Amino acid sequence: MKVYRLYELRRYYASASSLAFSFDTFVVFIITLVPWIISYVTGYFYTDSYAFPEKPFVSFNGSMLLYLQKDDGFLYYTNLRYEEADHLMKSSFRLPQISFYNHKSYSINEEEAINIQIRLPLMFSERVIGLTIVLFVDVTSWRFYNKRSQVPVVISKFFQSYSNAFFYSGDLLWSEKYLTPIVQARVYHENKMISRKILEFYLEITRSGYYSLADRICVPLSRESLSRTFDIELSLHLSSLRITTNPGFWYTIKLAWIQYLSIGLGIFYFAEKIRGYIYDKQMVRTIVYSTIPKVIDD
């Protein structure tokens, strides 16, 4: 009778207090930890502009800061309860008439829009040469971030001549940054176009993130009117949201899982080679159970 030699499969067992068990635990720990560290570190290199497949829910509830620059001072209005806004001069406060409408889209191709009309009373001798508007827009995202945040929308314009009306239409573009683009704000400050408190308030609210605007129409108007008011018409559109931000650990894994799986398999392969070498050289004490009988009867 011909006897076929079969390859022997060995099973290694070790007690919890043995060096072999410690080595196995260390291998599992390395296999788990190293890809996680690589994912966490390289996640900062995956910062890119991502297009959300869903449009967030955007609405405006009237929270705003309005600043009108005159040739001899400024006027402002705010309904915010921020400490920075309380430092503004009470004598320059004006109460405007505000109406707004949130247009919601019910299809993918339809745009969401926020329409705002502001009418601020002026004295006969007051002339407006610039404005800064900060609108706080409620943005609710479900799919990626599942959070609701109040994001400032900043509009700053300087007029070449006196105006009593301003019409603006633009697209909302979300930007999340740790450094604020303060070049434009510095220009206003150097030209005494904006007070120090407004500048500090502007820099504070735009520090973590804000909505930038791509202009469609930006027209200051000077028209005849029986009433002395400064009229503002704003139309803000959101067709699709593109966000520039760090995607985070799990979102990075979702984008680059093949790379991290390859790294994990490579670590597992070399760990098995090292473990086999240690066991074969009997560098640790183990209990070996063979799957092949030692004696094969004819």
- Determine the average pLDDT of the residues in 257-268: 71
Angle subtended at Cα 50 by Cα 147 and Cα 261, rounded to the nearest 5 degrees: 95
**Sorting pLDDT into bands at 50, 70 and 90, what band is 116?**
very high
**Which tens digit of pLDDT belongs to each residue from 117-164?**
999 888 877 888 888 888 888 877 665 555 667 777 888 888 887 888
* Distances from the Cα of 56 to the Cα of 148, 174, 178, 265, angstroms: 10, 11, 22, 38
**Which tens digit of pLDDT belongs to each residue from 172-202?**
776 544 333 333 333 333 334 445 555 555 5
Question: What backbone torsions phi and psi does residue 253 show, to the nearest 5 degrees?
Answer: -60, -40
Q: pTM above the 0.75 mark?
A: no
DSSP 3-state of 199 = helix
